[in-house]
Amino acid sequence: MTNTKKQRAVVICPGRGTYNKEELGYLSRFHSDKSSFIEHIDQYRTLQNQAPISKLDSMDKYSMRTHTAGENASALIYACAYGDYQSIDNDKYDIVAVTGNSMGWYIALAVAGALKAYGAIELINTMGSMMTDGIIGGQLIYPVVDQYWQRDKQREQQVLALVTEVNQRADCQVYISIYLGGYIVLGGDKNGLQAMQENLPVIDDRYPMNLFNHAAFHTPLLNEISSKAQQMLAPSLFHCPDVPLIDGLGNIWQPYATDCQALYDYTLGTQVVAPYNFSKAIEVAVKEFAPDKLIILGPGATLGGSVAQCLIEHQWQGLNCKTDFIERQKQDPYILSMGIAEQRALVI
């Protein structure tokens, strides 16, 4: 007799940088069966005089400027990720909690039911369109793990010390934006980020890496955006979630014990202007919910490494280094990224 017991899964929603050249056509490839959902988003965007996501997704060529612009990327990634969430085999997986990285928090609110369909696109599209007149500051990413994905405390201290030093200059502002597994994402103004870039040792000929078309999310530079968002978006958009939600401080918002005003305040206040600790969210996800699998929604598959680095940090299920993780993924994958074809097949 076969054992049909469901596996416990935590769902992880992706952030802004996940719809890249390889993902062009993701919506039409995987979600052509969800036309009413896509039409709902397209209609909303048409009323805002914005390009429909179906049109953006079906363009002949990927355009960095068009596809990574906040007003386009946010709605596109939300549609792809939400479509993936709807495609999860509910006979196979029991979804015990939902979390996300950065903009993925807004998507997490939607998939967990804390935002209904209209509220989700209104919040996601509004927040994504806040800087159409000019991006406030920028972001750069820098690794704080070694080649084995083990934390390099000396390197981390070096980054934090440099942040303190740069902020003492009159014309510079730079802050921790996201704790992203083995990476720290910094947000700041042009001078602050330039100073960091000039003084951080170059790693792998890639880092420090500027994130194109990204603003200084999760820093005090976005105080004005936070205030504006609270004027534009009503608390009534927020509901108690259907499944537990883990935020960027590691707090759990429970279905029957969520203060919706507090959830609104956190979403449009705290997490807009203060660091987003994705690493803490993953730690809480595995330690509090003991999932059999972590399912990362598409598009893209860039979040898997960061999640794995979080697991290695806590030696979760005996994972001590990058090699351990790769071997585990080959035999019995713990992380299932829906942006990777063979892993997607295990989820839908």
Are 289 and 334 members of one domain? yes
Are 31 and 167 members of one domain? no
Are 227 and 331 members of one domain? yes
Q: What is the 3-state secondary structure (H, E, C) of 192-211?
A: HHHHHHHHCCCECCCECEEC
Q: Tens of pLDDT along the chain (348 residues)? A: 445 789 999 999 999 989 999 999 999 999 999 999 999 999 999 999 999 999 999 999 999 999 999 999 999 999 999 999 999 999 999 999 999 999 999 999 999 999 999 999 999 999 999 988 889 999 999 999 999 999 999 999 999 999 999 999 999 999 999 999 999 999 999 999 999 999 999 999 999 999 998 999 999 999 999 999 999 999 999 999 999 999 999 999 999 999 999 999 999 999 999 999 999 999 999 999 999 999 999 999 999 999 999 999 999 999 999 999 999 999 999 999 999 999 999 999
Residue 2 lies in a domain: no
Residue 1 lies in a domain: no
CB 195 within 8 A of CB 174: yes
Are 126 and 248 members of one domain? yes
DSSP state of 16: G
> How far is the C-alpha of 268 from the C-alpha of 272, rounded, in Å?
6
Token pair for 327: 């071997």
Are 11 and 158 members of one domain? no
pTM of this prediction exceeds 0.95: yes
Are 129 and 142 members of one domain? no
Number of domains in the chain: 2
Token pair for 238: 């927020």
CB 94 within 8 A of CB 291: no
Greatest extent of the chain over all pairs of C-alpha atoms, in Å: 71
> How far is the C-alpha of 85 from the C-alpha of 343, rounded, in Å?
14
Q: Which CATH number do you get for residue 171? A: 3.30.70.250
CB 272 within 8 A of CB 253: no
For strands 293-296 and 138-143, give the pairing.
unpaired
Are 124 and 34 members of one domain? yes
Are 144 and 128 members of one domain? no
Q: Which range of residues forms the domain containing residue 254?
A: 7-133+223-344
